[in-house]
A and B are shown apart, each in its own frame.
Chain A
Amino acid sequence: MSDLTPHDAHVNAPERLGYSPVADVPHALRMADTDPRAARRAERQVAAMFMLSMLLTVAFVIAYMTIDKTSIIYIPVFGDVGTSTFVLGLTLGAAIFLIGAGAIQWAKKLMPDVEVVQDRHELASPASADQEALANYDRGKAESGFARFKLIRRTLIGALALFPIALLIPLRDLWTAPAGSPSPADLLSVTLWHDGLRIVTDPSLTPIKPEDLPIGGLVSAIPEDLEEVQEIEGNMNARTKAAIILVRMDPADIRAQQGDGWDYQGIVAFSKICTHVGCPIALYEQRTHHLLCPCHQSTFDLADAGNVVFGPAARRMPQLPIGVDEEGFLVARSDFAEPVGPSFWERG
């Protein structure tokens, strides 16, 4: 084929390329097949794209080495962008794009575009292959002696049957624990909160006096001893489960609570962990007393015992009973009465 020049109109004929023409599809010649000037134009287009790509690569290297990384430039639509970021992205992206675009232009305009029929082979294996596979199986059965060595066969079946138990046994720890320690299911039901534990602000760990919290106020809070517990236990579970929010509303606005007198002069404390899938929520609208979870829009009414008013959450937000200690700081009066966070099956 070396005797053929690219501009030869007949280079593209299926016969010359060693293909058989497709009977039903008439082959249409392209401009570049018939007009040598069009072919030369296409050649120049492709070469120009590759050339431009080279220039852009060089421009990228120069831009990388010279442009001040902190300089800012205004580009319409994009706004104020980093000059370096913008120029590097533009040159690098255009350089690689032009290599691909040139290759496609080359294939479309100049490479042969004859229609070719490619036969698809049968999906089913030939009968001889099936026979061979079956014969291999029978020979293996006979040579291994699987039918003959009874002891081996039975012990193998026994071993295979027993092995999955090793994989299942560790799952036991999902619901039981060594004697004397609480089971994982029970751990889900308790938090750090207990009677008399001070409520402090997150993350400043400042104790809170009721008069510090005006009506409409919101505080994200944690137990006073959280840092110590985390140092000892070294995990985030305690922190996660103990996170609460405090809000103060006009006592007249409180329609219902989860227990009698669980507020302190209109200050109510609720878990910060959504009962749907456990996102932390403090998105509190002080005028509607609604607490909204940004993940899936579950909405709880804190003036109405934390009941769900909208969204996928299935249970109300657990409330923490609070009071004040002798020094007048807010404290918990007990742990939560129900598990915090998402539902789990033992909970029902």
Chain B
Amino acid sequence: MKFLAAHRRSPLFAPSLLTIALVSVGGAYAVVSSSQTAQAADAGQVAIDEGNKLYLTGCTSCHGMQAQGSVNGPTLIGVGAASVHFQVATGRMPLAAPGAQAMAKEPQYSADETAQLAAYVASLAPGPAIPTAEQLDYEDADIAEGGVLFRVNCAQCHQAAGQGGALTQGKYAPSLMDATPQELYEAMVSGPQSMPVFSNGTLPVEEKKAIIAYVSELQDAPNPGGLSLGRLGPVTEGLFLWTAVFAALIGAAVWIGIKAR
């Protein structure tokens, strides 16, 4: 500081300070701006590379080194980002243990890591993409139409009230009561596990929105009677009547029959 203080009255002081300031600002801008464009260009590739790293450590034992599949798991070439996001974000993948069906559990990867894995798998071959916000905007969708579509296309496995149901040999269609709109959309376009694919060609985005609106309506539907017994209708309600209610009636009959002391 003594140097600056001593030369501060020099005629060269102001111009040299200005030069230093201009050079440093300009240089810094050049560095920052070039790295920004580089980031934009490489962001996709970085995500794919990061996804590849995550893939190599977490997925290869079943899906193979090049995602080509193995005896333990299907190929991931062409399944698309939607499938990866659905399987990983719901915790179905990575699989905890082999079995009839991968179950939903706590996700093992963060949202960023899931996106990187999805980017990597999507880079292998084209497949269904993660839906855009516009594709998931079901505000104006027709809930009644969604109900008709749901009963034709979904209710046979997921039950008319979306409660899920049994398939063959330990497999099952899960309840839709906790599914997010994005998961519903991704499941329809990717056909996870036993579920068939409902492509945008045969079930257009507008109809998917209607189905999502209907399922959201089911999720929010009040249950004024309480104790829904799985909303399975006469099966569980009948069982409840024949066991709990009959036991109460028999108890009442015994009370009536006991002689008072």
Contact = CB atoms under 8 A, between A and B. Distances in A.
A313 interface: no
B165 A284 contact: no
A81 B224 contact: yes
Contacts of A204: 149, 207
B44 to A, nearest CB: 25
B167 interface: yes
Given A81-B226, A284-B196, A294 B165 contact: yes
B227 A78 contact: yes
A213 B157 contact: no
A84 B228 CA distance: 17
Contacts of B34: none
A214 interface: yes
Given A283-B167, A310-B168, A208 B202 contact: yes
A112 B50 CA distance: 89
B171 interface: yes
Interface in A78-101: 78-82, 84-86
Contact of A287 (B165, B193, B203, B225): B193
Contact of A282 (B156, B203, B204): B156
A245 to B, nearest CB: 9
A75 B227 CA distance: 10
Contacts of A77: 227
A217 B191 contact: yes
Nearest to A209: B201
Contacts of B156: 280-283, 294
B255 interface: yes
Contact of B199 (A28, A213, A310): A213
A26 to B, nearest CB: 13
B153 interface: yes
B222 interface: yes
Nearest to A97: B252
A299 interface: yes
Given A85-B225, A294-B156, A217 B198 contact: yes
B196 A218 contact: yes
A104 interface: yes
Interface residues of B, number: 36
Interface residues on A, range: 35 or more
Contact of B197 (A108, A109, A113, A216): A216
B194 A82 contact: no
Contact of B260 (A72, A108, A284): A108
A213 B224 contact: no
Contacts of B226: 75, 78-82, 85-86
Given A209-B201, A281-B156, A82 B222 contact: yes
A218 B207 contact: no
A266 to B, nearest CB: 13
B167 A292 contact: yes
Given A216-B191, A218-B196, A285 B202 contact: no
Nearest to A89: B225
B167 A285 contact: yes
A282 B171 contact: no
A212 interface: yes
B148 interface: yes
